[in-house]
Structure 1
Amino acid sequence: MARRAGSADLPLHGGHVPKWLADRMTRLGAVVSEAIVHHYGRDELLRRLSHPFWFQSFGAVMGMDWHSSGITTSVIGALKRGLTPLSHELGIHVCGGRGRHSRQTPHELAAIGQRVGFDGAALATASRLVAKVDSAAVQDGFDLYLHGFFVTDEGKWCVVQQGMDGERRQARRYHWLSEGIENFVEEPHAAIDGAARGEIVNLTDRRADGSRRGQLDLLHDLGPDGIARELALLEPRAAPAQLALPHLDMPGHHDVRAEDVIAPRLHATLAAAAERGPEDFAGLLLVPGVGARTVRALAMVAEVVHGAPFRFSDPARFSLAHGGKDRHPYPVPLKVYDQTIQVLKTAVANARLGRDDELAALKRLDDQARRIDAVVGGQTLEEVIAEERLLSHGHGGRSVFGWEPPPASS
């Protein structure tokens, strides 16, 4: 049976992703996905996408607003643009999207099925069922507006869809993974992301099995006698204990604060980049312009590729790789971002030819961070952000407010 992996409260944000960032998100999302598939296989990429904490961290490392619901739309859009040209090579296909694009999912699945050989009609039915469960069987006040369907050549799939509660200005994200699903209407989710809002109608809970069967019976016997008879047969049953799930509470504030980041993990990442950078990157990759700042970003990207699930409980930390489009925690350093993409593209291209040195160097960078986690100290979060903003102009800092000006002369 598929498992629930946690929940998150996602504030709704307006605005759009500017083209200069969307294009880079497309390239970074594609090359990170390629690296994961190379190391761990495409089934693992589906598992990552079905994990709400990893998904939020992935969006943050791409330069999106680290806490907002916009990460869902932008990540799915970036992966659809970036992975579609690679689908023949990687064996992964991205369907659906926001609004009218979500309604095209069954047609896209049918077309892909004809091309690669899986049962597109069955997957189209699965897509519709997933949407129906989260819009009808789970009545939690959130109206679905986005449906992303990820499927491999073998027909394994993951769904990430999102609903909106306009009055509360909140979003809820629902994660599904085909691995282990035996029943679409009994606890099928890999995760549901959203704030607790009191009691809801959730007919997918295993404790609602009697209710589901009773409703089907009532379809055949709608008279008052039949309803009374069904009510008389209902007996109270002891409910199984609900396992405590991790809850990712994404706050409403835009700025990244100390309480949003696990400091020892940040210190470990920065220290590992400083220690392994000169050894593994300067002489190995020979990419012009790669310096200490790019290695720091690469260390966080390496964690997205290799990190264990528990390491993504503070998605805000990953916004320190490439900043954020709304200037939080600081403007997106485009020179660093472009160098990160170039290093990863070079590493993945060489790995295709059987030369794994560069990708292995990235893994060593992540391994080093784990070894020294909680052992080292370093700059406070406030000091890291202040330094980044001071150097932002030199790094090609840009946000939705424009290019970052040079710092005022002292």
Structure 2
Amino acid sequence: MTKRAGSADLPLHGGRVPRWLAERMTRLGAVMSEAIVLHYGRDELLRRLAHPFWFQSFGAVMGMDWHSSGITTSVLGALKRGLAPRSGELGLHVCGGRGRHSRATPQELAAVGDRTGLDGAALAAASRLVAKIDSAAVQDGFDLYLHGFIVTDDGRWVVVQQGMNGARRQARRYHWLSETMTDFVDAPHSAIDGPGQGEIVNLTDRRAARARDAQVALLSELGPDGIAEAYARIDGDAGRAPGGAAGGKGGRRTGEAEAPLLPHLVMPAHHDVRAGDVVLRRLHGSLAAAAERGPADFAALLAVPGVGARTVRALALVAEVVHGAPCRFTDPARFSLAHGGKDGHPFPVPVRVYDETIGVLKSAIGKARLGRDEEFGALRRLDAQARRLERHATGPSLEAFVAEERAASHLYGGRTVMGEAAAPGGRAGGRGAARDG
């Protein structure tokens, strides 16, 4: 069974992810995915990737531009690179990508089938059909240019693909999940994200079943030439209703069922993270948990030399992405406050903190595989404490928090696509800058 799980509308941005960030995204994305599989299983990772709000939060915590179209390409690329060496162990295979990588998806799936015993031809057929539905059966003005297909050893999969509307400078991301889909053409999507674009043609809507059947019947009865002649006659009469009155739009029939609502994420165009983009009580809960739970778990959680209070704050947000429920991700911008963003919003990427976050997670996974769960237990407690404290925790305004991070950025190796962060009124932080602690 498979179904579209949701969608997202994002500002369309160009540019490339710098190598220093791409390499870190690869490591962090892989280790977070491994943590989810270790705790909750492969199916749960697929469910999360199929949820547009979680996917956006996942990309934001990895230091990408928190709201832009590039988050889709960069996250899928990071997972493809990072999970490839672990594919045999984890039973996860990431195929496809952008442009020519998208077109190579069927061949990659066939290769996965050869390695695992799955029906690679059937997977390739599913890949082609999903792409065809979002490009032809749903005509919403977005042309597909990215297709990612993630499949497990037991044949379950998730598809994340994205279309572009160049005139509007927007992208739309579509999410599919095999576990809940019952029909490829009857309401198959788990979600579609995007702002209203006026009327669209959506032949996958359940209410379009008669239209789909009629199209098949017309093709068999009239043939292509007959359909073209009939269309020409209809087009000539367009706008003339019986009695000479102008034709209008038909209203909804009495009792006509509404289409089921899917998770739909709409990201704003502004680059800066604003107070309206973040649920502040959740941020205060994370900060309070880092301050209270961090010292209590210092021996277990902070086993990597140099890790200190700033890294624990980042880990509190990372722990939420690993352990949090879907309702926690309505404000994906909040997760950019863990490791900043490559364009400097909300603040430069604190490279040293980023590396220490990866180090803690790798250490936790390695020990958990040996039956020692103390570090993973500390991360779970950090997330649970944040949820408990957010009901009454207080803290700085978002503006004050971001200003503090910007001022201290040089101490943590802050970096953007434009270079290293400079100390207030001074030069960029070098290798001798203070460690987190």
TM-score of the superposition, structure 1-length normalised? 0.95
Distance 1:50 1:370 in 2: 24
Secondary structure of the residue that 1:190 maps to in structure 2? coil
Secondary structure of the residue that 2:149 maps to in structure 1? strand
Could you tell me how far 1:356 is from its partner in structure 2?
1.1
Report what 2:165 is aligned to: 165
Report what 1:106 is aligned to: 106
Distance 1:324 1:55 in 2: 16
Report what 2:148 is aligned to: 148
Secondary structure of the residue that 1:345 maps to in structure 2? helix
Is the counterpart of residue 376 in structure 1 residue 373 in structure 2?
Answer: no
Distance 1:248 1:349 in 2: 35
Could you tell me how far 1:246 is from its partner in structure 2?
5.0
Question: Given residue 25 of structure 1, which amino acid in structure 2 is its aligned partner?
Answer: M
Distance 1:3 1:312 in 2: 21
> In structure 2, which of residues 273, 276, 286 is the aligned counterpart of residue 259 of structure 1?
276
Distance 1:356 1:65 in 2: 33
Could you tell me how far 1:371 is from its partner in structure 2?
1.0
Report what 2:130 is aligned to: 130
Distance 1:348 1:283 in 2: 13
Size of the aligned set, in residue pairs, is 403
Is the counterpart of residue 366 in structure 1 residue 383 in structure 2?
Answer: yes
Report which of the two structures shows the higher radius of gyration computed on alpha carbons. Answer: 2
Report what 2:214 is aligned to: 214
Could you tell me how far 1:374 is from its partner in structure 2?
2.6
Q: Aligned pair in 2 of structure 1 residues 280, 59: CA closer, same or farther (>3 Å)?
A: same
Contact 1:221 1:227 in 2 (8 A): no
Contact 2:302 2:308 in 1 (8 A): no
TM-score of the superposition, structure 2-length normalised? 0.89
Q: Aligned pair in 2 of structure 1 residues 112, 268: CA closer, same or farther (>3 Å)?
A: same
Q: Aligned pair in 2 of structure 1 residues 5, 373: CA closer, same or farther (>3 Å)?
A: farther
Report what 1:45 is aligned to: 45
Secondary structure of the residue that 1:214 maps to in structure 2? helix
Unaligned runs of 5+ in 2: 235-252, 427-437
Deviations 1:240-273 (A, max 9, x none): 1234555432111100010110000000000001
Contact 1:53 1:315 in 2 (8 A): yes
Contact 2:13 2:68 in 1 (8 A): yes
Distance 1:198 1:18 in 2: 37
Question: Given residue 252 of structure 1, which amino acid in structure 2 is its aligned partner?
Answer: A
Distance 1:131 1:247 in 2: 19
Secondary structure of the residue that 2:87 maps to in structure 1? helix
Contact 1:80 1:95 in 2 (8 A): yes
Secondary structure of the residue that 2:63 maps to in structure 1? coil
Report what 2:31 is aligned to: 31
Report what 2:296 is aligned to: 279
Q: CA RMSD in A?
A: 1.9
Q: Aligned pair in 2 of structure 1 residues 117, 245: CA closer, same or farther (>3 Å)?
A: closer
Is the counterpart of residue 401 in structure 1 residue 418 in structure 2?
Answer: yes
Distance 1:60 1:283 in 2: 26
Contact 2:2 2:183 in 1 (8 A): no
Q: Aligned pair in 2 of structure 1 residues 328, 340: CA closer, same or farther (>3 Å)?
A: same
Unaligned runs of 5+ in 1: none
Contact 1:2 1:187 in 2 (8 A): no
Report what 1:315 is aligned to: 332
Report what 1:120 is aligned to: 120
Deviations 1:105-132 (A, max 9, x none): 1111111111111111100000000000
Distance 1:188 1:237 in 2: 25
Is the counterpart of residue 330 in structure 1 residue 347 in structure 2?
Answer: yes
Could you tell me how far 1:140 is from its partner in structure 2?
0.5
Could you tell me how far 1:373 is from its partner in structure 2?
1.9
Report what 1:240 is aligned to: 257
Distance 1:13 1:212 in 2: 36
Structure 1 vs Structure 2: percent identity of aligned residues? 72
Contact 1:277 1:292 in 2 (8 A): yes
Contact 2:190 2:262 in 1 (8 A): no
Instruction: State how 1:89-100 maps to structure 2 within 5 Å.
Output: 89-100=89-100
Contact 1:156 1:179 in 2 (8 A): yes
Secondary structure of the residue that 2:164 maps to in structure 1? strand
Instruction: State how 1:180-219 maps to structure 2 within 5 Å.
Output: 180-219=180-219
Deviations 1:1-51 (A, max 9, x none): 756655432001111100000000000000000000001000000000000
Distance 1:243 1:209 in 2: 15
Question: Given residue 163 of structure 2, which amino acid in structure 1 is its aligned partner?
Answer: G
Question: Given residue 314 of structure 1, which amino acid in structure 2 is its aligned partner?
Answer: D
Contact 2:191 2:264 in 1 (8 A): no
Report what 1:302 is aligned to: 319
Report what 2:63 is aligned to: 63
Distance 1:213 1:170 in 2: 33
Distance 2:261 2:93 in 1: 33
Contact 2:11 2:68 in 1 (8 A): yes
